[in-house]
Structure 1
Amino acid sequence: MQVNVLVSRRRAGILGLAVVAALSLAACGDASSGSNSADSSGGLTKITVLRSAGSTFEPLYIAQDQGYFKANGLEVEIKAGASDQSQNAPSVLRAEAQFAMADSVQVTKAVAAGLGIQMVAGLQSSTTTTEPSDGLAVAKDSPIKSFADIGGKTIALPNLKGSVELICDYLAEQAGVDPKTIHYVALPLNSIVDSLNKGQVDGAYIFSTFLDAARNAGDRIIGQGMNTLPGFPQAVLFAGTDWLKKNADTAKKFVDAVSKGIDYANKNPEAVRDIDTKYTQLSADYIKNRTIQTFYAEIDKDTMGILVTKMQTFGIAEKAPDLSSLIWSDAPTGDIK
Structure 2
Amino acid sequence: MTTRRSTLALLGAAVLSASGLSACGDGDAAAAGRQATELRYQGSVGTVTPAELAEDLGYLGDVKLKWIGNTISGPQDIQAATTGDIDFGGAFNGAIVKLAANRAPIKAVIGYYGVDKDSYIGFYVLDGSPITSPKDLIGKKIGVNTLGAHAEAITKTYLSRAGLSDAEIQQVELVVVPPVNTEQSLRQRQIDVAQLGGTLRDKALDRGGIHPLYTDFELLGPFTAGSYVFREDFLKKNPDTVKTFVSGVGKAIEWSRSTPREQVIARFRQILAERARNEDDSQLKYWKSYGVNGRAGVIEEKEFATWIEWLTGTGELKGKNVEATDIFTNRYNTAAGGAA
TM range (shorter): 0.7 to 0.9
Matches within 5 A, 1:64-79: 64-70=55-61, 74-79=62-67
Matches within 5 A, 1:176-325: 176-178=163-165, 180-182=167-169, 183-189=172-178, 190-212=180-202, 214-215=204-205, 216-226=207-217, 228-230=219-221, 232-268=223-259, 269=261, 270-276=263-269, 278-279=271-272, 283-295=280-292, 296-314=296-314, 317-318=317-318, 319=320, 321-325=322-326
The separation in 1 between residues aligned to 2:83 and 2:147, in whole angstroms, is 26
Q: Secondary structure at the match of 1:118?
A: strand
The separation in 2 between residues aligned to 1:56 and 1:236, in whole angstroms, is 17
The answer to whether the 8 A contact 1:63-1:69 is kept is: yes
The separation in 2 between residues aligned to 1:33 and 1:284, in whole angstroms, is 34
The separation in 1 between residues aligned to 2:49 and 2:121, in whole angstroms, is 19
Q: Secondary structure at the match of 1:63?
A: helix
Q: Secondary structure at the match of 1:196?
A: helix
Structure 1, residues 58-112: CA drift from partner, whole Å, max 9, x if none? Answer: 3323322333222xxx422242455244444455445554433333233222212
What's the offset of the Cα at 1:151? 4.5
- TM-score of the superposition, structure 1-length normalised? 0.77
The separation in 2 between residues aligned to 1:34 and 1:283, in whole angstroms, is 31
The separation in 2 between residues aligned to 1:320 and 1:219, in whole angstroms, is 42
The separation in 2 between residues aligned to 1:25 and 1:244, in whole angstroms, is 19
Unaligned runs of 5+ in 2: none
The answer to whether the 8 A contact 2:101-2:317 is kept is: yes
Residue identity (%):
21
What's the offset of the Cα at 1:256? 1.6
The separation in 1 between residues aligned to 2:217 and 2:45, in whole angstroms, is 18
> Which residue matches 2:112?
123
Structure 1, residues 215-259: CA drift from partner, whole Å, max 9, x if none? Answer: 324011123324532454444211112332344344233222221
What's the offset of the Cα at 1:56? 6.1
Structure 1 segments of 4 or more deviating over 6 A?
none
> Which residue matches 1:110?
99
The separation in 1 between residues aligned to 2:235 and 2:35, in whole angstroms, is 18
Q: 1:324 to 1:196 in 2, by over 3 A?
A: same
Q: Secondary structure at the match of 1:304?
A: helix
Q: 1:59 to 1:200 in 2, by over 3 A?
A: closer
The separation in 1 between residues aligned to 2:174 and 2:267, in whole angstroms, is 35
Q: Secondary structure at the match of 2:299?
A: coil
The answer to whether the 8 A contact 1:136-1:204 is kept is: yes
What's the offset of the Cα at 1:272? 4.6
User: Number of matched residues?
Assistant: 318
Q: 1:95 to 1:17 in 2, by over 3 A?
A: closer
Structure 1 residue 137 corresponds to structure 2 residue 124: yes
- TM-score of the superposition, structure 2-length normalised? 0.77
Q: 1:148 to 1:210 in 2, by over 3 A?
A: farther
